[in-house]
A and B are shown apart, each in its own frame.
Chain A
Amino acid sequence: MIADPGQILFLTFFGAAAVWFGVVVFRTRSMVRSAIALLFSQTAVGAMFLVMQAEFLGVLQIMMMASEMSIMAIFMVMFMMDPGGLGAMEMTHQKRLSLKAGGTGFVLALAVILLGGWGAAVQEVPEAAVQTAALGRELLGRSMFIFESAGLTILTAMIAATMVAIAPHGEDEA
């Protein structure tokens, strides 16, 4: 099957944007800029979903990440000693080990990607409305147990996070 050059171009563009903003997250000293760079990176990933004709997931990714990253930026400002990065604080440790681990992971993944036999790509994909309907049937049919487990997991996490975060009785008055 012949590859679609337009799709490759857009995937490369948004992929490069996602990777570039991913690098910016850990290179900028300002924490708020880090959160915004991560938002752009995740939005580029959402745009890649749209290029791959997964409309529902693409829009979901962009919307979810926009809200998640704005919450993250607020927490950054709350918790950081130096959210603006004005004091040039050192915020990293074991840099060499981290670089080695990241590099090794990338090389191993690259070897699997380039040496693995992926077979021919399927060019036809169901249109957006058909996809969304089929996903709904999948979620409330064959995969219902997994889907419901995900819902229960979120509920448990919400209760757990709230219980961990609230102050023990009387601590705030002390």
Chain B
Amino acid sequence: MTAELVVVLIMAAALFAIGIYGALSQTNLVMIMMGVELILAAALLNLVAFWRYLHPGAMAGQMFVLIVMTVMAVEMAVGFGIAVARFRARGSVEVEEARELGG
């Protein structure tokens, strides 16, 4: 068992749990995106920890980190695009007021 790896994984698990709580409990679209950002930060931590402590020779690990960072940027761009459209149409980005979007 490697102590450093376990420390990083536990911190990442805590960040993931906080992110899940935030994404589910907030009513504001921008705050929900903050929760998703925390979840993705936990994924980044896991990837770097596995690369560093288990396979430091395999650069594919670092490549995956870049891909997850891309996902973070895309999430922000699309999320803010939707927020702008929603604010323009309804004057608010509260998800409680978007019930008509439900199936």
Question: What residues of chain A have their CB less than 8 Å away from a CB belonging to chain B?
Answer: 1, 3-4, 7-8, 11-12, 15-16, 18-19, 22-23, 25-26, 31, 34-35, 38, 41-42, 45, 48-49, 52-54, 56-57, 60-61, 64, 68, 71-72, 75-76, 78-81, 91-95, 97-99, 101-103, 105-106, 109-110, 113-114, 117-122, 124-126, 131, 134-135, 137-139, 142-143, 146-147, 150, 153-154, 157-158, 160-165, 167, 171
Q: Are A92 and B27 in contact (CB under 8 A)?
A: yes
Shortest C-beta distance, B13 to chain A (Å), equals: 4
CB contacts under 8 Å to A, within B49-86, are 49, 51-57, 59-60, 62-63, 65-67, 69-70, 72-74, 76-78, 80-85
For A102, A157, A167, the residue with the greatest tally of chain B CB atoms inside 10 Å of its CB is A102
A-B contact count (CB 8 A): 244
Q: Are A3 and B41 in contact (CB under 8 A)?
A: no
Q: Are A121 and B5 in contact (CB under 8 A)?
A: yes
> In whole angstroms, what is the CA distance A157 to B24 when docked?
24
> In whole angstroms, what is the CA distance A118 to B5 when docked?
9
CB contacts under 8 Å to A, within B13-33, are 13-22, 24-31, 33
Shortest C-beta distance, B38 to chain A (Å), equals: 5
Q: Are A160 and B78 in contact (CB under 8 A)?
A: yes
Residues of A within 8 A of B67 (CB): 146, 150
| Interface magnitude class on chain B | 35 or more
Q: Are B38 and A147 in contact (CB under 8 A)?
A: no
Sort A-B residue pairs by CB-CB distance and give the 4 closest, nearest first: A161-B81, A15-B11, A121-B2, A106-B17
Q: Are A8 and B7 in contact (CB under 8 A)?
A: yes
Q: Are B93 and A79 in contact (CB under 8 A)?
A: yes
Partner of A93, one of B19, B57, B92, B96: B96
Q: Are A41 and B30 in contact (CB under 8 A)?
A: no
Given the known interface contacts A48-B11, A139-B66, the answer about A105 and B77 at a Cβ–Cβ threshold of 8 Å is: no
Q: Are A22 and B62 in contact (CB under 8 A)?
A: no
